[in-house]
Structure 1
Amino acid sequence: MSLPHRIRALPFLVVCLTSSAAAQSAADRVATGDSLSRLLSPAEALREYELAVALDSSSSLARWKASGASIDVAKQLTSDHDRARRDRLYAVAQRHAEAAIALDSLDADAHFMLAQALGRLSLTKSGKARVRYGRRIYDEAARALALDSTHDGAHHVLGAWHAEVERLSGLTRTFAKLFLGGGFLGRADWDSATAHLEQAVQLRPEYVFHRLELAQIYLDRRRDAAAQDQLERILTLPNTDVLDWANKEEAMRLLSRLRERQSRR
């Protein structure tokens, strides 16, 4: 190659090398974020994932992992003083998940993260907005399952959706259908709630929150023995989520109440 051609090729080579280095660095950041997530350090993991996004904005993986870490940070902020920061983090989680879907619409994890972010964000909204969020939550979780039928998180979201709608009073559901555009709520049923949560537990039996949600559904359906089995199993599991300490406290509370009820029979 002549000298002029070499000189002209240099910018192209620099761009290629820089892109390769950036992609590798982004992968390293994601790997570090994963390690921190396993250590239940979501704030530190979020920083790593967002650095990965800054290095490689085309990474759907980095985007949906940043979404998940944002949710894990936000859901620990329970005081009124932290409300604004919590809501901002849920909005950040939504944006990351939507960006991940825009980059790869066939990524089940991206759709699941959006469903999860919307679910958390909906709790901060008015009744009418929550009905609208409910439709999107259902659609995104269903899309995740259509892409990956073994996605335990998507099964959990759909099961919880069915259960939450079934827990609404008849008057509330009728009002939502008539005035809030909530006609889709009619598809909710307890059998679907149970089936989805049972599948989530089967797919990831060590995850405390799956079992807690399933136990609550069993209690709603007066299946006390099945609920007790789930609650007792929860107390033997390791913590794998930042809220597992609280989930286990709730399991102990429900178990105590259940045993008290049984003793009165």
Structure 2
Amino acid sequence: MAHKILAAVFALLVSTGALNAQSVDEMIDQAKQLEKQMKEADALAKYKEVLKVEPAQLSALVEASELSSREGNRQKEKDDKTRYFNEAKDYAQEALNQAPNNADANYAMAVAMGRLALISGAKDKVAASREVKKYAELAIKFNPNYAQAYHVLGKWNYEVANLNFIEKNAAKALFGGLPDGTLQQAIDNYEKCKKLDPGFILNYYELARAYNKNDQQTQAMEVLRKAVALRAIYQDDPAIKADCKKMLEEMQ
């Protein structure tokens, strides 16, 4: 009788473990479907549910970080942006703790730090900027064909090329300066991203901005025309396409 009871308990434990594993997989599938439906806030909530069950689930950590960065960027108030971006950073850090050589985890950290840099004062912006470059380059190291990591590197070059006097002085005081970032390097990075992922609409918008800033209006307009014809994939894509259309109309 004792053996039968032990066998029953063992069977229950095994089946419960399988059920938990299955439920996590199902929740991740549901989150991915929500992303495809452009319901990113709901997808983020679903990934958070996964992490309550399995806190070290790598793909959920990476996706929660990326979605927190995107959701934060949609907020109107700086405090709300900061909260989301810090959550994105925390999720990315935990993903890196689990898998420091994972390209997606490094990319997620680059994005989170990039978002924080854009809303920070001169000192914090410069410090965050160094981290953006570091993690974007690591993502590319671990996956040389990581299109969106090249996009982040392009954004880094664009922002560094356009640092103001105060920010440049902060960089010099804190770190003896920053590596050179140029518009041409930004354009090269964006073009690399476009080659690897021709459907990434945000990259077209940023590439057009870089071309325009570099006094290459013809190239900028060509990029914008391609962008407005692309199919929306991410939740922000319709708004980005509208921005591309507006920029194109202003340049014509």
TM-score (normalised: structure 1): 0.87
Q: Does 1:133 align with 2:131?
A: no
Moved over 6 A (4+): none
Question: Which runs of 5 or more residues in structure 2 are unaligned?
Answer: none
SS of residue matched to 2:119: coil
Structure 1 residue 89 corresponds to structure 2 residue 87: no
Q: Is the 8 A contact 1:131 1:182 kept in 2?
A: no
Relative to 1, partners in 2 of residues 1:31 and 1:182: Cα closer, same or farther, differing over 3 Å?
A: farther
5+ residue gaps, structure 1: 260-265
Task: State yes or no: 1:223 paired with 2:216.
Answer: yes
Q: Deviations over 1:1-32 (max 9, x none)?
A: xx545655666655444333222211111111
Q: Is the contact made by 1:22 and 1:56 (CA closer than 8 Å) also made in structure 2?
A: no
Contact 1:42-1:70 within 8 A present in 2 as well: no
Question: Is residue 2:170 matched to residue 1:176?
Answer: yes
Matched, 1:70 2:68: yes
Range 11-20 or range 33-42, more displaced: 11-20
Residue 258 of structure 1 is matched in structure 2 by: 251
Partner of 1:146: 141
The answer on whether the counterparts of 2:161 and 2:180 sit within 8 Å (CA) in structure 1 is: no
Identity %: 25
1:110 to 105, 114, 119: 105
The Cα shift of 1:91 comes to 1.3
Cα gap change, 1:90 to 1:174, in 2 (>3 Å): closer
> Does the CA contact (< 8 Å) of 1:138 and 1:158 recur in 2?
yes
- Aligned-residue offset at 1:222: 1.5
Does the Cα contact within 8 Å between 1:228 and 1:258 map onto a contact in 2? yes
Contact preservation (8 Å) 1:23, 1:55: no
Q: What secondary structure is seen at the aligned counterpart in 2 of 1:231?
A: helix
Give 3-state SS (helix, strand or coil) of 2:179's partner.
helix
Give, in whole Å, the separation in 2 of the partners of 1:177 and 1:200.
28
- 1:262 corresponds to which residue? none
Amino acid at match of 1:204: D
Cα pair distance change 1:114/1:11, threshold 3 Å? farther
**Pairwise CA RMSD of aligned residues?**
2.0
Number of residue pairs aligned between Structure 1 and Structure 2? 252
CA distance in 2 between partners of 1:26 and 1:168 (Å): 44
Q: What is the alpha-carbon distance in structure 1 between the residues aligned to residue 159 and residue 148 of structure 2?
A: 16
